[in-house]
Amino acid sequence: MDPLVASPTAKALRTLELLQVRGGVTAQQLADRLGVSDRAARRYIANLRDAGIPVESTTGPYGGYRLGRGVRPPPLVFTAAEALGLVMAVLDGHHAAADDDDPVGAALGKLVSALPDAVGRHAATMRQLALAAPDRRAVRPDASIATVLVEGIAERQSLEFQYRRASGQTVHALVDPWALVVRHGRWYLICFAHHAGAARTYRVDRIECVEPCASHLTVERPLDLDPVAWLEEHLGSQRRHPTHVVFDAPAGVVAPHVSTVMGRLEPVDGGVRCALIGSTDNTTMYAGEWLAAVPVPFVVVGGTELRAAVRVLAARLGAAVAEPDAVLGTTP
């Protein structure tokens, strides 16, 4: 039970707060958050309605209580830590927090200026003085495109769009959207692609002309889908150059040193060794930054391009420890 919730009036206000934060809340979910019975939760809903607050209810698996239109939001109440954390989160996203011409910076400025001085002073100072180094990998999608994708996911609505591949070719896609994942500054849509008859991922910044498809209205997301894990595994298996590396150690020893983007680990030789099977678009990075960092002996048994990259890396490192007199022409 929330320790701040005590009196029936406080519980009714807490119910209103929960409805404002999240729509589609069931009576049982409200009861769990309030520490009361579901019957009591329904009574608080009735109290809100009696007070003139429009609380709507819908049935079905995605049903529940939600606020109707015209509800005036309560005053913003942040702690100093919450306000500071908000500014830090904006900076973590590499936004120009102090730039009023930036949509995120402008919105943040409005929030900070509305806070009492005792709460917002440190947040305002950080907003003005702290800077975020730009992430060269980050690619922010068009907000209007992202909005349609989010609505499609929330409403379980199939979508159609034009997709610009890395080659520049544009293709048409009809998909059932499941989730959006932000990874290393890039946004990805995870979905079921009807043309492929399988799950696919799309870079959101390459999606154009997206709109709902009226003929597909019942998108069902897999119950066991872990969007982040799925994306990591997908990115590790759909690159141009296949990779197959065998490590001289069990999978449990190797696993902490590799990511799912590098591929999937499989036991071999009865679990005494393990194989990492995946793919990559950048064999130089795979060899020099990823494989070289694994403190376990390994052999690249598959992937012509990766084997060539490892040979080049080995030659470079070998040359780096050549005898000094052979390099400088002098005796140390």
Q: Where are the domains of the chain?
A: 8-67, 80-129, 143-225, 241-319
Confidence of residue 6 (pLDDT cuts 50, 70, 90): very low
Span 8-67 CATH architecture: Orthogonal Bundle (1.10)
Q: Above 60 in pLDDT, residue 3? A: no
Evaluate whether 8-67 and 241-319 have a shared fold: no
Q: DSSP secondary-structure letter at 248?
A: S
pTM score, two decimals? 0.57
Span 143-225 CATH architecture: Roll (2.30)
pLDDT score, position 160:
94
Residues 6+ apart with CB under 8 A from 182: 188
Q: CA–CA distance from 50 to each of 34, 44, 226 (Å)? A: 20, 10, 41
**Mean pLDDT over residues 290-308, rounded?**
94
Percent of the chain residues past pLDDT 90, beyond the cut: 30
Confidence of residue 73 (pLDDT cuts 50, 70, 90): low
Which pLDDT tens digit goes with each residue over 279-291? Answer: 888 999 999 999 9
Q: Which of the following CATH numbers is that of domain 241-319: 3.30.70, 3.90.25, 3.40.50, 1.20.1070? A: 3.30.70
316: tokens are 């470079």
Which pLDDT tens digit goes with each residue over 21-51? Answer: 666 788 888 888 888 888 888 998 888 888 8
